[in-house]
Amino acid sequence: MRVGGAWIGLVRVGTGRDYPTVMARSWFWQSTLRMRETHVRQKFVYLLILMLLGDISSTFGERLFVAHDLYAPAKVPVQTNSLLASSLFDQARQACEKGNMGLALRLVEQTLVFETDHADARRVLGYRRVGESWAGSYAARRLDQDEVWHPQFGWIKKADTQRWKEGLRPLGKRWISIADDQRRHATIDKGWQIRTDHFRVKTNHSRSEAARLAIRLEDFYQIWQQQVGGFFLKTEDLQQRFDGKPSSGYRNKPFQVIYYKTRDQYNVALRGAQPRIEMTLGIYFDTTRSTHFFAGESQDVGTIYHEVVHQLFQESNRSARNVGALANAWVIEGVACYFESLEEHSDPLVGRYFTLGTHSAGRLPAARHRRLVDDYYVPLAELSALGMSDLQRRQDIARLYSQSAGLATFLMHYQEGRYRPALVKLLQLVYTGGDKVSTLQELTGRSFAQLDQEYLEFLQQEPLKSKQPQESRQPLQQ
């Protein structure tokens, strides 16, 4: 939610369940890959991949993969299958040639599931090999300076690793104790700073928490790219990567994240910028281009994803001020709510994977209950006419957030992603100030009434649980 130049995330009650993978047994893969190199085999393998890896293949949500790298090494060894990896990469190239950036990136990530050292796939994602690790350009530069990444300390000099492990911390040319180091960084102004390829996390909690959050955000950034690739990436730029041009793979100006040790410190630091900061779990200020969170049991990972989504959309391209002020505010909040449904899983065959947009995760259970049981629904013609201030003044804002999450999920996944390009284009226009009330109709070629009906049909495709879900978050109201 946006209030006074800030994007605000509030109380969220997580819902969802584990989504086990349905990967085929090795004999099935082997028998498939023994087929001759024919058009039929290629098509069969592609369809099989879509089904098993989960690329927009189910009614609700999909399965996504994130490449292992220096920050997040593989924990489960996966058997290399170069033939399958090659087939996936060929499909990725074809998707790029057709202008489908998101699908191309998803297929490149899937390529690395079956051949983690696939050099072409790594190049497309901006990696280069340094020793035994795959690293983005920023990480590679730190490695070239004889530094190492440690999951508890962040970037440190390789020669000093043992001293760090012994509990010593550098201060100029001397070493101090952990306790002295903590006192030096007790306030957020003097906090530790951990830099990765795309984020800089500043915290007065601990270096280890900053490193952990930075790694989580790097994973999330890769997920976000796969879902909305066309928002920030031009077809010709990605095509050049496929053709052999290296990519930097990092940001010169990283996304700024401030992580407070306690909620009280968060409240005190931000009350001047947002008087009702106590009602929030996280906030993004587009004026300072920074996202703020606090540590502790009351924090929620969905809130972190929600607010960082606002930051990624706002800062990845040149954006207008006061986006969504006149119309289409729902899509700004809806897509951020959609990413709250991200869940991480592990599988013995393919290792780590993520699900996003599943029918039991995030706000979708509430969206389905409101529409199918309570018969609550604000038609798109009315909803699209609401600017951000209009949305925030609504008495039913909590229910509107759930509905917006449902609509974003619908546009992402309906009929194997039929409307996803339209959604990404709508977001581009909203963030550059080029949208109008009727933009969604024009991009989809469907009337609001037709989209309303298709949304209803989309929600009805899975059985509805009898238990009434709670709203995922109680939004701040002016």
Give the residue from 224, 225, 223, 236 showing the smallest Cα distance to 96.
236
Q: How confident is the model at residue 251 (pLDDT cuts 50, 70, 90)?
A: confident
Q: Does 339 reside within a domain?
A: yes
Q: Does 468 reside within a domain?
A: no
Top pLDDT among 464 and 45 is at: 464
- The beta strand positions in 151-234, using DSSP E, are 154-157, 168-171, 174-177, 192-195, 199-203
Q: How confident is the model at residue 1 (pLDDT cuts 50, 70, 90)?
A: low
Q: What is the pLDDT of residues 261-275, one digit of tens each?
A: 999 999 999 999 999
Under 8 Å between Cβ of 263 and 295: no
Q: Does 472 reside within a domain?
A: no
Q: What is the pLDDT of residues 305-338, one digit of tens each?
A: 999 999 999 999 889 988 999 999 999 999 999 9
Using CB atoms within 10 Å of the CB of residue 394, give its burial: 0 to 12 exposed, 13 to 18 middle, 19+ buried: middle
| Mean pLDDT across the chain | 87
Q: What Å distances lie between residue 159 and 67, 165, 174, 208, CA to CA?
A: 28, 12, 14, 19
DSSP 64: E
Q: What is the mean pLDDT of residues 277-293?
A: 95
Structure tokens at 212: 């952990």
Domains in the chain, number: 1
Secondary structure (3-state) at 408 = helix
Q: What is the pLDDT of residues 103-116, one digit of tens each?
A: 999 999 999 999 99
The 3-class SS string of 134-158 reads EEEHHHHHHHHCCEEEECCCEEEEH
Query: What percent of the chain clears pLDDT 90, i.e. is strictly above it?
Result: 75
Q: Does 465 reside within a domain?
A: no
Structure tokens at 208: 């280890």
Q: What Å distances lie between residue 75 and 69, 252, 344, CA to CA?
A: 11, 30, 14
Q: Does 469 reside within a domain?
A: no
Residues β-bridged to residue 344: 354
Q: Of 7-16, 119-128, 288-297, which range is least confident?
A: 7-16
Q: What is the pLDDT of residues 387-428, one digit of tens each?
A: 999 999 999 999 999 999 999 999 999 999 999 999 999 999
Structure tokens at 447: 């009337």
Q: Does 55 reside within a domain?
A: yes
Q: Does 471 reside within a domain?
A: no
Q: What is the DSSP annotation of 330-370?
A: HHHHHHHHHGGG-EEEEETTTEEEEEES-TTSTTHHHHHHH
32 pLDDT more than 60: no
89 pLDDT more than 60: yes
Q: Does 323 reside within a domain?
A: yes
The letter for the amino acid at 76 is V
Secondary structure (3-state) at 265 = helix
Neighbours of 235 (CB within 10 A): 16
DSSP 250: S
Residue 31: its pLDDT value, please?
39
Secondary structure (3-state) at 319 = coil
Q: Which domain holds residue 51?
A: 2-459
Under 8 Å between Cβ of 265 and 299: no
15 pLDDT more than 70: no
Using CB atoms within 10 Å of the CB of residue 191, give its burial: 0 to 12 exposed, 13 to 18 middle, 19+ buried: buried
From CA 399, how far away is CA 466, in angstroms rounded?
18
211 pLDDT more than 90: yes
Under 8 Å between Cβ of 391 and 115: no
Residue 59: its pLDDT value, please?
60
